Amino acid sequence: MLPDAESFRRLVDGRATGLVATLSRAGLTAIELPYAVLVRLRNYGYDHDFVTVNRASAPVISVGNLTLGGTGKTPLVAWLAQWFAQHNKKPAIISRGYKAEKGQLSDEAAELKILLPTVPHFANKRRTIAAEDAVAKGSDVLVLDDGFQHRQIERDINLVTIDATDPFGCNRLFPRGLLREPLGGLSRADAFILTRTDQVSTKTRNEIRERCFQSVGSHNKPWIETEHKPLNLRFIDGTVQPLKTLQHKRTLALSAIGNPAAFHATLKTLGQESVATLTFPDHHKYTTDDIHYISEEAEAVGAEIVVTTLKDLVKLPETGFHDRPLCALEIGIQFQSGLQELETLLDEIP
């Protein structure tokens, strides 16, 4: 099964070939221009105070990215909330609740609820309202999830995450590429957080760093490098087991995230070569037919266990895989460089 998101990625990065792919890229290029104009006009409005920016009643730390798809924001959001809690603050997480059904948590919110059971999460398409609710209920610092392009709220610190495995979204704006806005938007960042650095070479990391600094015309902003490290396995019934549980197991890898290749690479770092991988579009809502398909595939390849992401685990049923265990890799962020610089920024928050 080739998911829509992966098909699109193959199209825009040039892996898809043939006449249809070539014509499709030409069509996307035609749409890219008006999109670029709209993005630049929007940013111009904010940059020159033509658009009102609201100040929350508590400090705001924004975590965002420049590209579509997953860059590893959620582990950083969790780390920030934990850091503030450990420093006698009362953090809350603010998000738009992307693709959440009425009365339900979004995928990321459900994941963060598992990772941070004591940290409140406020979701609203109008994030200014979510921020007001959080402050009214006692929070004194707000972590704005996926907030780099959401410029209606003033932020005290603007952190941008960059995925080392796919840093610049095929170097084209959506829909011809995966960039949400031009690289010049990086000038709004107070610090750069390079994620998944263990999956690329030192040379590649240095090239990404230099390009980011060239885009903003400065080498003075903090540069922070991180890895995503598997911590343990969290099973569908809530139990937690060590990573070694996967040893010598025939696994089926299942995901519906923005960067499934990174998930598969993480499994390989554990010495785990999956007997099959199934990927669905990002934020996919699993149906009964999907569960049946996954079960049949697991049966066909002789998988002993189904391994997924925490973001997917919260959407999957407890049964339905022919009694095969279902678990998620619980991922934490590990700083390789720049932690002191980041903490210096955070310490300046009143």
pLDDT in tens, 28-78: 999 999 999 999 999 999 999 999 999 999 999 999 999 987 788 999 999
What confidence tier does 103 reach under pLDDT thresholds 50, 70, 90? low
Q: Rounded to whole angstroms, how far apart are CA atoms 296 and 194?
A: 38
Nearest to 142 by CA among 152, 151, 154: 154
The mean predicted confidence, pLDDT, of the chain is 92
- Bridge partners (DSSP) listed for residue 62: 144, 158
The answer to whether the beta carbons of residues 61 and 87 sit under 8 Å apart is no
pLDDT in tens, 182-202: 999 999 999 999 999 999 999
Q: Cβ neighbours of residue 261 under 8 Å, at least 6 residues apart?
A: 165
The answer to whether the beta carbons of residues 92 and 121 sit under 8 Å apart is yes
- What interhelical angle do 73-86 and 107-115 show, nearest 10? 40
Domains and CATH numbers, the chain: 4-47 (no CATH), 60-228+334-347 (3.40.50.300), 230-331 (3.40.50)
Confidence (pLDDT) at 106: 75
304-318 per-residue burial string, b: 16 or more CB within 10 A, e: under 16 = ebbbbbbbbbbebee
Q: Rounded to whole angstroms, how far apart are CA atoms 104 and 341?
A: 37
Whole-number Cα distances in Å, 131 to 98, 106, 108, 144:
16, 17, 17, 9
